[in-house]
Amino acid sequence: MMTGATLPSLSLGPVLYLWEGPKWRDFYFRIADEAPVAHVVIGETVCSKRLHFIEPHVGEVVERLERAGKSVSLASLALVTLEREAQVVRALVRDSTHPIEANDLSALGLLAGKPHSVGPLINVYNGATARLLASRGATSICLPPELPMASVRDIVRDAPGVSFEIFAFGRVPLAISARCAHARSKGLVKDNCQFICGDDPDGLVVETLDRQPFLALNGVQTVSHTCQALIQELPELAAAGISRIRLSPQDCDMVAVARVFDDAIAGRSLPADAIARLQNAYAGARFSNGFHYGQQGAAWIADHAST
C-alpha cells in the first residue's frame, strides 16, 4: 500500500489508432462495464479523416461510460492544418457539454477562460508553463511522457493547485506530421490513403537497417516501438503529488491492464507480479521506462532506485 500520499486514480486516454467504429464502440462499452478507471478521454486526436468512423458512436459511448459512473472528457485534434479541421475544433469547443482536453495550441486559444484539461501532446516542461496554463483555465495537465521524474517533481511543486496526470502505459506519442508516412510506406499518399492505417490497429513497426524494431507509425503520428509501463514507479509518482495515472489504449486487453494498475496502486500486488500480469495482458510487447529515469526512452530499468 502506498503510504504518505493520496492514492492517484486511473484514467484512460483516447484511442490513438484507427479502429473500425463498432470495435471502437465495443471497446468503450467494455471499459464502462469492467475497467476500474475513473476518468475517460475520448475522441480523435491524430487524423481528422478518421472522424467519421467514430462520430456515429460517440453519444452512446459517452452515455454508457457516464452510466457506469465514469467522468468523460472530449479530446481535440493534435495538429490542425486545414480550415476544415479548424472548424472541427471550433465546433467542439462551442458545442460540447463535456470538458475538453486540448492537444494543441489552437484549442488552448479557444478554451482560454473556460475550465479544460491539457493533454500530453502539449509541451509542459516547467512549472511556469503549468501556472500560465492554469491561469487561463486549465484544471488538469497530463505531462509529456518524455519527462524524467526529477522534472515531474519540480513541475508539481512549482504549480500548486493544479491536478497533474502521468502517461503511464502505452506506446509513447513522439511526433506528428502534416504528411502521412504510414500511407507512403504502403505506396499511397495522404489524400488517397484508403485508410490503410486501419490495417495496423496497434501501429506499423519501423525497423532500422539491421532489422531492429525502432518506432511505429500510426497514420501521421510516430509512436515508440516499446510500450511505456510505469508500474514499479507508482509509489514515487503518488508521493510527488500525481493525481491521475493515464493508460493509453493499445490493441490488447485493456481491462486487464487497468486491473493490474488498480491492484498496484492499492498495494494488492508487488511490482514483479504486476509486470508479469502486464506481459500476459499485452502479449509480445516490449516494455520501457527509460524516460522516467532520464535515459533513452526505450530502456527498461528493472532494479530501479529513487530518482
- Is the whole-model pTM more than 0.85? yes
Tell me the mean pLDDT in the region 54-83.
Answer: 97
Q: Which pLDDT band, with edges at 50, 70 and 90, does 124 fall under?
A: very high
3-state secondary structure the chain: CCCCCCCCEEEECCCCCCCCHHHHHHHHHHHHHHCCCCEEEECCCCCHHHHHHHHHHHHHHHHHHHHCCCEEEEECCCCCCCHHHHHHHHHHHHHCCCCEEECCHHHHHHHCCCCEEECCCCCCCCHHHHHHHHHCCEEEEEECCCCCHHHHHHHHHHCCCCEEEEEEEEEEEEEECCCCHHHHHCCCCHHHCCCHHHHCCCCEEEECCCCCEEEEEECCEEEEEEEEECCCCHHHHHHCCCCEEEECCCCCCHHHHHHHHHHHHHCCCCHHHHHHHHHHHCCCCCEECHHHHCCCCCCCCCCCCCC
Are the C-beta atoms of 19 and 52 separated by less than 8 Å? no
**Residues 112-141, mean pLDDT to the nearest whole number:** 96
For residue 59, give every residue at least 6 positions away whose Cβ sits within 8 Å of its Cβ, in sequence order, or none.
Answer: none
Considering the chain, what is the average pLDDT of its residues? 94
- Residue 3's pLDDT is what? 54
- Residue 214: phi, psi to the nearest 5? -130, -60
pLDDT for position 26: 98
Residue with cell 486491473: 259
Q: Judge whether 176 and 148 are in contact, CB under 8 Å.
A: no
Tell which residue, 156, 154, 124, has the closest CA to residue 241.
156
Mean pLDDT of 57-68: 98
pLDDT value at 2 more than 80 = no
Whether residue 306 has pLDDT greater than 50: no
Model pLDDT, residue 307: 39
Instruction: State the average pLDDT over residues 123-127.
Output: 96
Our measurement of the distance from residue 301's CA atom to the centroid of its chain's CA atoms, rounded to an integer in Å, reads 22
Query: What's the pLDDT at 6?
Result: 83
What would the pLDDT profile of 73-106 be if each residue is shown by its tens digit? 999 999 999 999 999 999 999 999 999 999 999 8
Give pLDDT tens digits for 130-151: 999 999 999 999 999 999 999 9
The residue-averaged pLDDT of 166-192 equals: 93
For residues 212 and 102, the model is more confident at 102
Whole-number percent of the chain with pLDDT over 70: 97
Q: Rounded distance, CA 11 to CA 29, Å?
A: 15
Q: In this predicted model, what pLDDT tens digit does every residue of 246-305 receive, in sequence order?
A: 999 999 999 999 999 999 999 999 999 999 999 999 999 999 999 999 999 999 998 654
